[in-house]
Amino acid sequence: MTPDEETLLRRAIELAAEARAAGDPPFGSLLADAGGRVLAEERNTTVTGRDISAHPELKLAVWAARELDPATAAATTMFTSCQPCGMCAGAIQRSGLGRVVYALSEGQLGELKPGGAAWPQVPQEGPALLDEARVPVEGYYR
Ligand SMILES: [Zn+2]
């Protein structure tokens, strides 16, 4: 990691502190272009926004998919105070961002949380009703 990248990662950590000061969980992220220019910043607002999906990484991934052309998105790097969770990692994949740099790992976060970082598993059942379920999907992807 270059000194300029460390500066961007430190800004993400500052955003995490700002989130905590505002009453939200302490996570912050930003998106930078290939030259290190900050394109967008976000912090966690899951408590104040009453929105379980209001993680900064997810908000930036949605913003990038909406506002950036694919080539520009692919040239960006997300700097984030903590390793993206599964929800955010999926959104980052779909948004076409080029790279993620994080400070705390998920495991390191877990060591700082009394109950650990893992969310409970929700049982899933399926597949079922294949003949009916395939009708709206068949022919959509070509
Ligand atoms: Zn997340």
Is the pLDDT score of 117 beyond 80? no
Cα 7 to middle of ligand 1, angstroms: 22
What pLDDT score does 118 carry? 75
Sequence-distant (≥ 6) Cβ neighbours of residue 87 within 8 angstroms: 53, 55, 58
Cα 88 to middle of ligand 1, angstroms: 4
113 backbone dihedrals φ, ψ, rounded to 5°: -105, 125
The token duo for 115 is 């109950």
Sequence-distant (≥ 6) Cβ neighbours of residue 17 within 8 angstroms: 26, 28
H helices, E strands: number in the chain: 6, 4
Cα 48 to middle of ligand 1, angstroms: 16
Strands 28-32 vs 77-82: parallel, antiparallel or unpaired: antiparallel
Sequence-distant (≥ 6) Cβ neighbours of residue 118 within 8 angstroms: 110
Picking from 79, 107, 74, the residue whose alpha carbon sits closest to that of residue 10 is 79
pLDDT in tens, 11-33: 999 999 999 999 999 999 999 99
Work out the average pLDDT over 51-55.
98
Percentage of the chain surpassing pLDDT 70? 99
The neighbourhood of ligand 1, an ion, using CB within 5 A, equals: 55, 85, 87-88
pLDDT in tens, 64-95: 999 999 999 999 999 999 999 999 999 999 99
